[in-house]
Structure 1
């Protein structure tokens, strides 16, 4: 009796991984609710901030002086956060794994370049390109991720975006045509199936330590031996 041969499913190729920074590569330390209240005021925060308004885009509708004051307030909270900056558990191991397979790694954050430079220096790891708030437009617009793909000369469907925000990181990745992975340490987002189509990631993990096995199981990792970081 002949035994039927089961055709193997070809895994998609993966050439690069792009990370969010705050809350993904680093432990969350900024009190965003307090920052929103300081920028918007208590009354406006009650009607806007608690409803998930994008504070950066909201500020851009203000006059120049109001914008300057708001950005100074945000920068103060971000500087205070740098004093308490910690690397996310599993981040170093994951980056070493990617480096061992010659997989490119980049970074997109809505934080400022000073914070990115501090992160690179403090933890001795570099991401290229590393796009900060100075790059416009911000996430969730796909432009920063598409810029990285173009710099790498890699199609977006061979890139994975990892972040802790559905509305910023996952939406950015989906709009760019990349694979997406949500880091949900506390389980606040619930099962993937419960999420709407425009925010549903391809994968969800509770820690960065899970990503290595996820990559091995779901992707054909294509090494770029000519990568220059």
Structure 2
């Protein structure tokens, strides 16, 4: 027996042929009711089932807060001009400065951390919340979606962010939590604390090498915040971890979540 073809186009053609041959005694109203039911069934099965989303984890610098740290200048101050250019050319998705420092001997490490801390302290004086962050947090609150934070910045910066802008994220993991991004450990820790599965969580950040890599390695959905379109450059075409979604502002995340996920509490 040939397989049953239930495509909407085939069904419509067959319906017209069958309707023309219906005996007068057969209720055309009943036939119409049956055909309408089947059509609605076909339409409903063609709609994709949305995945449930129970939590969103954010990066801080460059995602929840406006970028204020001159990272290229910081990398050059730590690595030196030549080593910076060498590492940058070999790492298209970005430089993991903390990883490089960990390989150094203790006294050299200490000097590097002091340079980084100085850049971070200067950044704290200019800390500003990212446009759309407060509104997005309000939307997540209205849907009872949990909010977490993972940053490679220090706890002092996280505490100042919470105090200055009145937004709370829990857990909020800073550089003191090891291993840090792009290792999936901090995100898996948050999922465990929330008692949810990684595939029920989204990681949002502005870094392919840290945020997207962390999210993908953990098994979570990922959204890359790319305000300037820098990641559209060909040099990022073949990176290992690519985001599930990409936005140019936090204002776009609201509709992205509603369109693609089941936000039922």
TM-score (norm 2): 0.80
- How far apart are the structure 1 equivalents of 2:160 and 2:141? 21
Runs of 4+ in 1 over 6 A off after TM superposition: none
Cα distance, 1:84 vs. partner? 0.6
Gaps of 5+ in 2: 1-14, 16-34
Higher Rg = 2
In the alignment, the residues of structure 1 paired with residue 232 and residue 250 of structure 2 have an alpha-carbon distance, to the nearest angstrom, of 18
Match of residue 6 from structure 2: none
Segment drifting more, 52-61 vs 84-93: 52-61
1:112 matched to 2:154: yes
CA distance in 2, matches of 1:96, 1:170: 24
**Structure 1: which 5+ runs fail to align?**
224-229
How do 1:1-229 and structure 2 match up within 5 A? 1=15, 2-3=35-36, 4=39, 5-6=42-43, 7=45, 8-49=47-88, 51=90, 52-190=94-232, 195-196=237-238, 198-223=240-265
Higher relative contact order (CA 8 A, sep 6+): 1
Aligned counterparts of 2:95 and 2:154: Cα–Cα separation in 1: 20
Counterpart Cα distance in 2 of 1:50 and 1:111:
24
- Normalised by the length of structure 1, the TM-score is 0.92
Q: Distance in 1 between matches of 2:78 and 2:189?
A: 30
SS of the residue 1:106 aligns to: strand
TM-superposition CA deviations, 1:138-160 (whole Å, max 9, x none):
11110000000000001000000
Which has more helix, going by share of residues? 2
Q: How many residues align?
A: 222
Alpha-carbon deviations, 1:169-211, whole Å to 9, x = none?
Answer: 001100100000000110111189x744732111110100000
Which deviates further from its counterpart, 155-164 or 46-55? 46-55
Partner of 1:226: none
Matches of 2:149 and 2:128 in 1, distance apart?
17
Q: 2-side partners of 1:67 and 1:40: how far apart? A: 11
Output the CA distance in 2 between the equivalents of 1:34 and 1:43. Answer: 13
